Chains A and B, each alone.
Chain A
Amino acid sequence: MQIRSMFFKANAAAALANPVLQGNMRTSKGKFVDKRRTAIADFSAEGGDFEALRDAAAELRDRVLKDLDLWLEKFEAAATASGATVLWAKDGDEICRHVVDIARRHSVRKAVKSKSMLSEEAGLNQALEASGIKPVETDLGEYILQINNNEPPSHIIAPVVHKSLDEVADLFEKTHRTPRKTEIPELTREAREVLRSHFLDADMGISGGNFLVAETGSVALVTNEGNGRMVTTLPRVHVVVTGIEKVVPTMEDLSLLLRLLIRSATGQHISNYVSLLTGVKRPDEHDGPEHLYFILVDNGRADLVASEFQDMLRCIRCGACMNHCPVYQTIGGHAYGWVYPGPMGSVLTPLYQGLNKAIDLPQAATLCNQCGVVCPVKIPLPELLRKLREKQVEKNLRPWFERIALKGWAWVASKPKLYALGTWFGVRYLNWLAGADDRIRVLGVAPEWTLGRDFPAPEGKTFRELYAARKR
């Protein structure tokens, strides 16, 4: 996917000015938060300890990353022994080349896809189309986006959270040329019927992988709609595209992470379908693919191993950080400009695509730590964002006026007398701005600050003045 994160400011402003989007975001934001909270309360009521689960998961992920090379080899050996073919891809282009090659080898004309963020990273749909292979997204949300001119998803688990029922109804009427439906169940049935025929005549299924199990060489897939099962049961060929960080050692480890992932993502206790898939169709079996390929993808991940950003590789793609982010809740996912939005996207995009291409993303957060508090694998997202900000400064990537302002501030702050004088004037200036009010409506020196909020007026004197008065 072409990165557009450099336009973050303009895109965020456009999102704020878009009444339809604002309405849709308001409808959705409380739902995710409430569902997760209820699921965790239920878990406690059953005698479970969610915090202990988070600790165990973070530790588990770290332990795997410590020996990631060996676990990957272990997975590769087990998967190969089960009859699968394991391929490796350094970047998005290589993913596309592998998938197109596989498709050609097996004379594939149509591929049904279950949600895969890696396929978004690679722009796989465009590559398949260019090679004359028809890709069909089958997750309802992803399907809606595909028929809307390949619009990018705005959320990693709820790709059309930014769209309203009306918008979907219009799109279905236009694309399917059927009478307009106005109820969500009717629209869902219409999509089911359209997509069923694709499932039945597709030659290839492409899926992501929630986890890879090293001991058995299996992939675990979690879906609610059942499209993940269709894509991996009906077509002759199944291709799994997934990141190298997704490997876990045992099925017990998988169970631990599933308890956490599902509650954090959708607030369910369990998703409708969890499948553990190992190898190809057995000789006497009625269904299942005859060929199974794994494409293990780097695309920036290997460089994070053992780096100061390694924590990010623990991510299990639940979406809780964006669901709880005040910035995401307000501007939606598209403004972030690449595959991953919200706090995890603001960390991943600069790391995978280059800090200079996503200059505003580390700043696209208030560092309120809502994300850190809910992250099931305890990724310190605000801390990582702060580190990225440091990197920007080190690399001179911040705008010149900001650099000069900070240099000036540092100079003043290291001269106590001058600093005291500055704050003496500052407080009086702010009080003068506030007048009789206790808040400032337009901040004279930085009017942008007060565009969407007021600035509280100071109490009257500086701390130094009060301290000096007390001592007397």
Chain B
Amino acid sequence: MTSREDILTRVREKVGRNVDDTALARGDMEAWLNTRRQGPRPPAAGDLLARFREKSEALSTSIDIVAEWSTVPSAVARYLAERSLAKTAVGWPLLTGHDWAAAGIAFEGRGARDADRIGITGAFCAIAETGTLVLLSGHDTPASVSLLPETHVAVVAASRIVMGMEEAWNLLRAKGGALPRAVNFVSGPSRTGDIEQTIVLGAHGPYQVHVIVVTGA
């Protein structure tokens, strides 16, 4: 008997599985999958942007709010200048079309490498409940851009800020198609508390995360 059969057979015996109740149980399972019952959770905040901002800042994410996409490159440039960071960035190929050069940013749309210092991404949506960015991996949206560089700058439309993770799943289903390889929920810069329970920002991922919210998009 293979280990698969051995394990499953023992579980079947334990739960008292027999032919009659299998169909019944499968029916219950289908109902469960279709109902998608949600657990108890905090009520939705009135002002999702305000909540997103408050929660993000509590995670040491810095927030900038701009009116439209055309001003994003200059907002990024401003942030980089404030932090005395070089204006060379790797970014999602999806964002290549914006006028980065006009803001003095050398933008390369591709997956990130070890030497890249700044990574610019968009976001599929964002979660107000916890100050979280939701990033989907894909050809135009490589996961490494939000991971390898020390600084991660993300751009999200205010209209894409939802209350909780459940709303993000709904958006994802509404989008249709198969799930992407990775759905990454990113909440602030990477951190560790392993040594003496003291939180240090910048473990293996970014040291700083800056989010630009576009209200007019």
Chain A residues within CB distance 8 Å of chain B: 24, 27-28, 31-32, 43, 46-49, 52-53, 56-57, 60, 63, 65-74, 82, 88-90, 94, 138-141, 144, 158-161, 163-165, 168, 184-185, 187-189, 192, 195-196, 199-200, 215-216, 218, 224-227, 229-230, 232-234, 244, 249-253, 255-259, 266, 269-282, 284-288, 296, 298, 302-303, 305-307
Among the listed A73, A272, A285, which residue makes an inter-chain contact with B188, where contact means beta carbons less than 8 Å apart? A272
* 27 pairs, A vs B, C-beta closer than 8 Å: A27-B197, A28-B196, A70-B22, A88-B4, A90-B3, A90-B6, A139-B194, A165-B195, A188-B200, A192-B202, A226-B205, A229-B204, A233-B147, A250-B33, A250-B36, A255-B41, A256-B40, A259-B41, A273-B185, A278-B181, A279-B181, A281-B181, A282-B180, A285-B137, A286-B110, A288-B181, A298-B3
When distances are taken between beta carbons in the complex, the residues of chain B under 8 Å from A141 are 192, 194
Among the listed B37, B147, B190, which residue makes an inter-chain contact with A252, where contact means beta carbons less than 8 Å apart? B37
Q: Is the CB of B138 within 8 A of A266?
A: no
Question: How many A-B pairs fall under 8 Å by CB?
Answer: 261
Q: Known interface pairs A232-B182, A255-B164. Does A288 touch B147 (Cβ–Cβ under 8 Å)?
A: no
Q: Is the CB of B191 within 8 A of A272?
A: yes
When distances are taken between beta carbons in the complex, the residues of chain A under 8 Å from B33 are 215, 249-250
When distances are taken between beta carbons in the complex, the residues of chain A under 8 Å from B169 are 251-252, 255
Chain B residues within CB distance 8 Å of chain A: 2-4, 6-8, 10-12, 14-17, 22, 25-26, 28-29, 32-33, 36-43, 55, 59, 110-111, 114, 129-132, 137-139, 142-144, 147, 164-166, 169, 178-198, 200, 202-206
Whole-angstrom distance between the Cβ of B189 and the nearest chain A Cβ: 7
When distances are taken between beta carbons in the complex, the residues of chain A under 8 Å from B183 are 275-276, 278
Name, among B43, B137, B139, the residue most crowded by chain A CB atoms within 10 Å (CB to CB): B137
Name, among B6, B8, B130, B203, the residue most crowded by chain A CB atoms within 10 Å (CB to CB): B203
Q: Is the CB of A227 within 8 A of B179?
A: no
When distances are taken between beta carbons in the complex, the residues of chain B under 8 Å from A252 are 36-39, 166, 169
Q: Is the CB of A184 within 8 A of B137?
A: no
When distances are taken between beta carbons in the complex, the residues of chain A under 8 Å from B202 are 185, 188-189, 192
When distances are taken between beta carbons in the complex, the residues of chain B under 8 Å from A196 are 114, 204
When distances are taken between beta carbons in the complex, the residues of chain A under 8 Å from B197 are 27-28, 31-32, 158, 161
| 8 closest cross-chain pairs (CB), A and B | A226-B205, A256-B39, A286-B111, A225-B203, A141-B194, A270-B130, A226-B190, A305-B14
